[in-house]
């Protein structure tokens, strides 16, 4: 059983940067695909970024490409999301997730473990 805890959310001005962290306990990160998703009120949770365990390959949704960077430190059991050039449209609760399968990194249904979420609010 993997327990995930996000941190780093908060209020940031448009154009600013923020780094989210996700720390795992109860298991090792090294055997999982790790992802970041976000959700706004009344909407489904949407894919933001993911990183594969096998080769470190990364994936991003189009709206964050070139602005967000996902990375992982297996030794620290920590996942990061570096967010830059933030826009008001990035405002959401951000969730980290871990998958023990080799399936699609884009689908919420492929992830077994979820954090509780951290709020990111970007002011205009």
- How many angstroms separate the Cα of 48 from the Cα of each of 28, 65, 75? 22, 9, 24
Distance CA 106, CA 120 (A): 21
Contacts (Cβ under 8 Å, ≥6 apart) of 53: 30, 31, 32, 33, 34
Give residue-wise pLDDT tens across range 83-105. 999 999 999 999 999 998 778 89
Give residue-wise pLDDT tens across range 10-63. 999 999 999 999 999 887 766 789 999 999 999 999 999 999 877 889 999 999
């Amino acid at each position: 059983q993997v327990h995930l805890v996000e941190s780093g959310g908060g209020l940031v001005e448009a154009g600013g940067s923020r780094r989210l962290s996700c720390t795992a306990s109860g298991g090792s990160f090294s055997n999982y695909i790790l992802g970041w998703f976000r959700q706004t009120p009344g909407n489904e949770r949407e894919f933001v970024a993911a990183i594969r365990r096998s080769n470190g390959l990364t994936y991003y949704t189009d709206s964050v490409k070139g602005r967000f960077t996902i990375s992982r430190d297996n030794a620290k059991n920590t996942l990061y999301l570096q967010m830059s050039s933030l826009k008001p449209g990035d405002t959401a609760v951000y969730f980290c997730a871990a998958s023990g399968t080799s399936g699609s990194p884009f689908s919420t249904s492929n992830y077994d473990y979820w954090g509780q979420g951290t709020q990111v609010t970007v002011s205009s």
